[in-house]
């Protein structure tokens, strides 16, 4: 049962609570390796990517327990620095364990991470940067081994903004000797959450939320209890689903402050958006006939992770739209699948030109990655007839109980 069957045409109405952020949870769980003792991570989403991270931590000798949305990680038993290839191979974010393990244990061996089809995301910059902190790295065809006596602070002038490299250098730098400077640093809310977690544990990180981070190395961090913020990408996906079905949904706990660009583009497309302290009310019934042009980029620009759901909304707008993808070179994999449903989308280089229609038709379509899979479900919700979206395991990587939550909002959807 690795598929979802959707009977399209129902408007989504009601309220749903936005889960904790996947992209914040993973580096925070990796950061627990820096701390001897037990950390408690609240609002940690119950998704497969988090499960794989928990499994990696367990394989290293840590004790990991889940109680509802609370995850406890005790690292006192840390004994291994070699990560199992089956988990590393399916999850790209396993690379962020590298900086934390080098800071805590001084050595690590791992295969090259996998789990990504939307772009190359080479790890060369990770390894190059860690070498500048004194790490000796021996690369082999299938993986590498890294070793260091103690990490040394360094000044980094990165050739481009990278969320993963920023995370890895943060994790390496907090226990390093001396001062580390990262610029341009990624400014994503998930980076800010990682800084908050580390500072709460006793790190000295300056520049949170800016493109210049200064980390003063400390000798030790202390165990903490920390709450993961809500997932802005999940909130944006439900927002698009509401727009596409012409529904009205309150997104409880949606992180309004982190979604400015997303909300601005939704309003341009005709959606009614009302923001409150505890969430966002979306009314998508006016969504039609509005031209929209968007360009993805690093935060605070429009997030590449919401490019696919917004493509679906544009395809249903009855008007022309245009999307320029500047982050990942292979993020238009959803286009042939949407074409099966009647969408008219033309790709030229890194730009998609959408000739919007008023309705899509049901079809059997195949998810090939996380966000594209969720976007196909969104398209199916609005389509006439029945659709089947295969490869549900991609969607499960980042969306908690998607079928149940959509059903509670009035969708006719079931596992298939």
Task: State the burial class of residue 257 (Cβ atoms within 10 Å of its Cβ: 0-12, 13-18, 19+).
Answer: exposed
50 contacts 44 by C-beta, under 8 angstroms: yes
Strand positions, DSSP E, 18-135: 38-42, 63-67, 70-74, 107-111
296 contacts 308 by C-beta, under 8 angstroms: no
Give the Cα separation of 387 and 364 in Å (integer): 6
Give the Cα separation of 4 and 39 in Å (integer): 36
Which of these, 134, 91, 117, lies nearest to 368 by C-alpha position?
117
174 contacts 215 by C-beta, under 8 angstroms: yes
Which one of 13, 109, 116, 319 is the catalytic residue?
Answer: 116
Dihedral, CA of residue 192, residue 329, residue 122 and residue 299, to nearest 10:
-10
Alpha carbon distances (Å) from 415 to 300, 305, 319, 395? 36, 24, 33, 12
Catalytic annotation present for 116 = yes
54 contacts 64 by C-beta, under 8 angstroms: yes
Which of these, 185, 173, 183, lies nearest to 209 by C-alpha position?
185
- Neighbouring-strand partners of residue 65: 72
**Active-site positions?**
116
């Amino acid at each position: 049962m690795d598929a979802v069957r959707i009977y399209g045409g129902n408007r989504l109405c009601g309220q749903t609570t936005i889960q904790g952020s996947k992209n914040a949870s993973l580096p925070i769980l990796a950061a627990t390796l820096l701390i001897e003792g037990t950390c408690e991570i609240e609002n940690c989403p119950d998704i497969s990517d988090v499960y794989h991270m928990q499994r990696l931590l367990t394989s290293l000798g840590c004790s990991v327990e889940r109680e509802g949305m609370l995850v406890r990680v005790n690292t006192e038993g840390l004994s291994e620095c070699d990560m199992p290839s089956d988990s590393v191979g399916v999850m790209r974010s396993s690379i962020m364990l590298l900086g934390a393990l080098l800071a805590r244990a001084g050595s690590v061996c791992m295969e090259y991470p996998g789990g990504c089809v939307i772009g190359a995301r080479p790890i060369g910059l990770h390894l190059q940067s860690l070498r500048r902190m004194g790490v000796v790295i021996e690369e082999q065809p299938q993986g590498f081994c890294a070793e260091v006596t103690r990490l040394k602070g360094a000044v980094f002038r990165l050739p481009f903004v990278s969320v993963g490299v920023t995370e890895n250098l943060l994790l390496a730098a907090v226990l390093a000797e001396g001062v580390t400077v990262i610029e341009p640093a990624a400014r994503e809310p998930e980076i800010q959450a990682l800084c908050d977690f580390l500072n709460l544990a006793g790190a000295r990180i300056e520049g949170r939320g800016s493109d210049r981070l200064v980390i003063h190395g400390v000798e030790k961090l202390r165990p903490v209890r920390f709450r993961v913020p809500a997932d802005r990408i999940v909130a944006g996906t439900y927002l698009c689903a509401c727009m596409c079905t012409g529904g009205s949904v309150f997104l409880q706990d949606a992180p309004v402050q982190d979604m400015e660009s997303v909300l601005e583009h939704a309003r341009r497309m005709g959606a009614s958006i009302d923001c409150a302290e505890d969430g966002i009310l979306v009314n998508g019934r006016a969504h039609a006939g509005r031209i929209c042009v968007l360009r993805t980029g690093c935060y605070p620009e429009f997030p590449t992770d919401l490019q696919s759901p917004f493509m679906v909304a544009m395809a249903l707008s009855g008007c022309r739209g245009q999307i320029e993808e500047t982050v990942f070179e292979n993020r238009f994999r959803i286009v042939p699948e949407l074409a099966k449903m009647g969408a008219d989308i033309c790709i030229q280089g890194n730009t998609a030109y959408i000739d919007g229609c008023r309705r899509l038709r049901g079809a059997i379509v195949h998810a090939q990655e996380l966000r594209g899979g969720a976007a196909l479900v969104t398209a199916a919700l609005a389509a006439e007839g029945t659709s089947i979206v295969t490869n549900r395991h991609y969607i499960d990587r980042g969306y908690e109980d998607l079928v149940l939550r959509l059903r509670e909002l009035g969708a006719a959807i079931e596992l298939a």
